[in-house]
């Protein structure tokens, strides 16, 4: 009986994969563009900045609207 893998949950736990992380980042970038940010501004952002902006989508929409009004 395989008790070592049954007792040690870390051995049967799924591993993180780079492709899934890149896909999540791409989806998050698309979400910011759909909220109204320019694609050039979104491309310059780091991953942690993307996530911080997506926590408050209404503020992103307001800032994007102000930027479009100024331009």
- Residue 10 falls inside a structural domain: no
- According to the model, what pLDDT value does residue 41 have? 93
Q: What's the chain's average pLDDT?
A: 89
Asked if residue 38 lies in contact with residue 70, where contact means CB atoms within 8 angstroms, the answer is no
Domain range enclosing 24: 15-70
* 9 pLDDT above the threshold of 90: no
The predicted model gives 45-60 an average pLDDT of: 96
- Residue 61 falls inside a structural domain: yes
- Residue 3 falls inside a structural domain: no
- According to the model, what pLDDT value does residue 1 have? 54
User: For the chain, what is the domain count?
Assistant: 1
Instruction: Determine what percent of the chain is predicted with pLDDT higher than 90.
Output: 70
- Residue 64 falls inside a structural domain: yes
């Amino acid at each position: 009986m395989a008790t070592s893998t049954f007792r040690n949950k870390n051995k049967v736990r799924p591993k993180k994969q780079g492709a899934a992380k890149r896909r999540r980042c791409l989806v998050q970038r698309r979400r910011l563009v759909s909220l109204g940010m320019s694609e050039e501004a979104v491309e310059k952002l780091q991953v942690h900045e993307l996530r911080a902006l997506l926590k408050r989508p209404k503020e992103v929409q307001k800032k994007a609207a102000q930027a479009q009004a100024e331009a």
